[in-house]
């Protein structure tokens, strides 16, 4: 929930002490937003199906990024939009993160 308060006044007349209140008005506006998240569970019975679903979603996100990168940024034309690597490409991780990944894969 967010409240906005604004004041409008007649130039010069609104700045006069005591009488200035007759030449200005204050308004308050309240705005409320709700974020709704819908979760759809899916039972995945094997690893190949999970990989296929993951790859399809990943490729969709990457395609959206490539499309946006192709359009460019109107306000900052010299800036590049980051794009995630293609699915399955080996990614380089910092040593401490790679050590954590290796440890998790062993367990």
> For 2-39, what is each residue's pLDDT tens digit?
888 888 999 988 888 888 888 989 888 888 889 999 99
Token pair for 22: 């007759």
Q: What are the phi and psi torsion angles at 7 (to 5°)?
A: -125, 135
- pTM beyond cutoff 0.75: no
Helix residue ranges, H only, the chain: 47-71, 95-106
The sign of the torsion formed by the CA atoms of 72, 75, 80, 83 equals negative
Neighbouring C-alpha atoms within 13 Å toward the C-beta of 46: 2
* Burial of 83: CB neighbours in 10 Å, binned 0-12, 13-18, 19+: middle
């Amino acid at each position: 929930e967010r409240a906005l308060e604004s004041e409008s006044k007649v130039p010069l007349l609104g700045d006069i002490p005591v009488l200035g209140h007759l030449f200005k008005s204050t308004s308050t506006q309240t705005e409320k937003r709700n974020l709704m998240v819908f979760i759809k569970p899916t039972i995945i019975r094997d690893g190949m199906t999970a990989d296929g679903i993951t790859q399809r979603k990943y490729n969709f996100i990457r395609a959206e990024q490539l499309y946006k990168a192709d359009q460019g940024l109107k306000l900052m034309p010299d800036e590049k939009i980051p794009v995630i690597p293609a699915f399955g490409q080996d990614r380089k991780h910092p040593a401490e993160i790679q050590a954590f990944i290796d440890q998790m894969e062993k367990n």
